[in-house]
A and B are shown apart, each in its own frame.
Chain A
Amino acid sequence: MITAARSEADKEAGHRRLNRRRVTSLLLVAPLLIFTIVVFLLPIVTILTNAVASPEVSTGLPRTSLALAGWHPADRNLPGGEVFDALAQDLSEKSPERTRAVAAAARRLNYEVGGFRSLLVSTERAVKKSADDAGNWRERLIGMDGRWGDIETWQAIRRAAPAHTPFYILSALDMRQAADGSIGMVPENQRTYVAVLMRTLKVAAVTTLICLALGYPFAALMVKSGRNFAFMLLGAVMLPFWTSLLAKTSSWIVILQEQGPLNKLLIWSGIVSSPLQLIFNATGLYIVMAHMMLPFMVLPLYSTMKGIPSHYMKASSSLGANPARGFFHVYLPMSLPGVGAGALLTFIVSAGYYITPSLVGSPREQMLGYFVAFYAYTSVNWGLASALGLMLLVCVLALYLLAGRTVGVRQIAGLR
């Protein structure tokens, strides 16, 4: 009896100790957990929701949105008088927050149909002037602006009324929903973002290839050379890495410009007769991007190559392979995890770059990041900014999964 009670008490104490340990470990990871959630997960969730959220019309024109739900545009008839009355009521409210909400709805509707903003603003002004009069808004609104008599106008409101919309994501893919609800490409001369995405991926890919071509022999030299020289080489890679991005970019502009030292040297040495255009075009972009990205390529390569023992190449040559064949059959395959990790890292970081391309590239070299920034800060179209960001995120994730399948995520992460 006593022993049973004792063991019960022991078990109880054991549980309490275990619980206390759990709480302690939870407390220890809590700061990191909270930090990750706040600065990483939350923004991503916000981007995802922003890309599909469309609250402006349903909050700006609540009665109209509700009334339009009962209208069937397929009948090719204008909505009933009650919808016009609802719109007039929505527009007649005079409190400042209602006015702001209507303005937001107007901006949102302008994405759907060009000129909608001015239509709604002028209508709002007119309605407020004659707000006391009741009824028969159908004729009066059409009288104010003939566009209220078009079915397309009402279809645009109806499309934008739900709280979620595929509009931004479709726009980011150069697609749109036609008036009848079918999805198709926008006219050729209006397509932008797919081309920008392709350009972004191309710039990232070319930058990655340049970095690989420069970084592979560099990393191999670092592994081969003695301690002091290797340290110097490492410094040569890391020093720019530690320098401010803007300082590096502006130094490149100085070096590469038409009257810059590089052009002067080329002319002085007689290689070229007139200065080359080395900056504010694709050449300049690739030169500067490759310089920025080199550390992301060299460091994973170096750490992988450092781990390849020298006896493999000795074995290869003792078995009759000359150094070149030994390299292709033995060294290169063994260094592939480093190539994979470096290339993936370089590609992902380059794809998201936007300051450097916007400073050293021409308008034709602007990457997706530039448009994300433009829509987020300049035109305050968070929906499109988010959708474009989402597109980049999806591309990078797809690439990561692909690389994980082929090279192995564990190898890329250096876990092997």
Chain B
Amino acid sequence: MAAEALIEFDKITKSYGRHAVIRGLDLTVCRGEFLTLLGASGSGKTTTLMMLAGFEEPTSGAIRMNGAPIEHLPPHRRGIGVVFQNYALFPHMTVAQNLAYPLRMRGMKRAGVEEEVRRAISMVRLDGMEDRKPAMLSGGQQQRVALARALIFKPELVLMDEPLGALDKNLREHMQFEIRELHRQLGVTVVYVTHDQSEALTMSDRVAVFHAGDIAQIAPPGDIYEKPSDAYVAGFVGENNLLSGSIEASPGNLTAVRLSSGTVVSVACPWSGSGPVTLAVRPEKMGLNQDAEGLANRISARVTELAYLGDQLRMLVDLGGGQIAMVKIAAFDKNRPQVGDTVDIGWNPEDGHLFASD
């Protein structure tokens, strides 16, 4: 990634009264990238976006765009496109009038406006809908108008606040693809807010995971998933088994961890501390019975629950001492175990991640 900074957040804090929502946030958005702010509700991701758009002012700290401070600039002078969660299409204007609005506000001549609107309409494939009011469009079509309206004045940066939240699953996946495609074609920088981690992983160049008003980790999707920086990210992004334990020995690169069930497992992760730890192992990395053979860590466990999901089977197993882990296996597996069976669970030391417990 050519890391030329478009936006910089410099020690931004935001509080409402005594309640701090953002605590000392540093963030750089690179030109041309698709950055997703991912987090649970109340994690501060939307507040961050609103401060970038100009609807909220930071309590302290600076926001710079192309090196110039913008934190006191009103929204209409920032030139940042925003796609709102509920689209915010003006109900009394037609599709064409909605699209023309930002151009008219910039004093563009009528002929130029008409040309740009025509182009934007064909870009989002809404030809023939120019004269419809937003209420006469489907959710997906409204979404496309909102996208086109935020892009039509060629902003350097477009913000999207959970734009797909109101759509059903199939349409959402389709629109994810379309947004990606628009981003690729136009080369515009996108900051995208979502609480849906699979959306974040599929769409982004980088993902910033928000936790309690700060960024827990910011990295490309693969790193977020494979190399979570802490237990929160490991648990929030994707499914994960978080097993508590303590350090038994840490000679060199292989650390021995005693799980609370009593079993000792090895993790390919150097460790220097001695306090309680959390071990994270993805369910899909755990092998069952014959798949567990030859793996360095093997535990005998009892099946407590089975859930059939069509393509796969989700199995909860008791590792002993009340420590529950989830294992995913293919649903067509002929030798699938029953509830109450004793099975072998195994994984590689490389597939475990260690974090200090708080």
Please list the residues of chain A having a beta carbon within 8 angstroms of any beta carbon in chain B.
Answer: 309, 311-312, 314-323, 325-326, 329-330, 333-334
Contact = CB atoms under 8 A, between A and B. Distances in A.
Contacts of A312: 88, 90
8 contacts: A309-B86, A314-B53, A314-B75, A317-B74, A319-B105, A319-B149, A329-B101, A333-B92
A311 B102 contact: no
Interface of B: 53-55, 74-76, 78-82, 84, 86, 88-92, 101-102, 105-106, 149-150, 153
Contacts of A315: 82, 84, 88-90
Contacts of B101: 316, 319, 321, 329
A37 B84 CA distance: 52
Given A319-B101, A320-B106, A314 B153 contact: no
A318 B81 CA distance: 6
B53 A318 contact: yes
Nearest to B91: A334
B36 to A, nearest CB: 19
Contacts of A309: 86, 88
Contacts of A329: 90, 101
A318 B160 CA distance: 12
A415 to B, nearest CB: 15
A264 to B, nearest CB: 45
A333 to B, nearest CB: 5
Contacts of B74: 317, 322
| Most interface-central of B55, B75, B91 (chain A CB within 10 A) | B75
Contacts of B92: 333-334
Contacts of B102: 319-320
Contacts of A325: 105
Contact of B153 (A317, A320, A333): A320
B52 to A, nearest CB: 11
B86 A311 contact: yes
A318 B90 contact: no
The 7 A-B pairs of least Cβ separation, nearest first, read A315-B88, A319-B102, A318-B82, A320-B105, A317-B75, A317-B76, A311-B88
Contacts of A330: 90
A328 to B, nearest CB: 11
A309 B85 CA distance: 12
B76 A314 contact: no
Given A317-B74, A321-B76, 11 more contacts: A311-B84, A315-B82, A315-B84, A317-B75, A318-B53, A318-B78, A319-B81, A319-B101, A321-B105, A329-B101, A334-B92
A333 B55 CA distance: 22
Contacts of B78: 318
B91 A318 contact: no
Contact of B79 (A311, A320, A322, A334): A320
A333 B97 CA distance: 14
Contacts of B55: 314
A329 B90 CA distance: 10
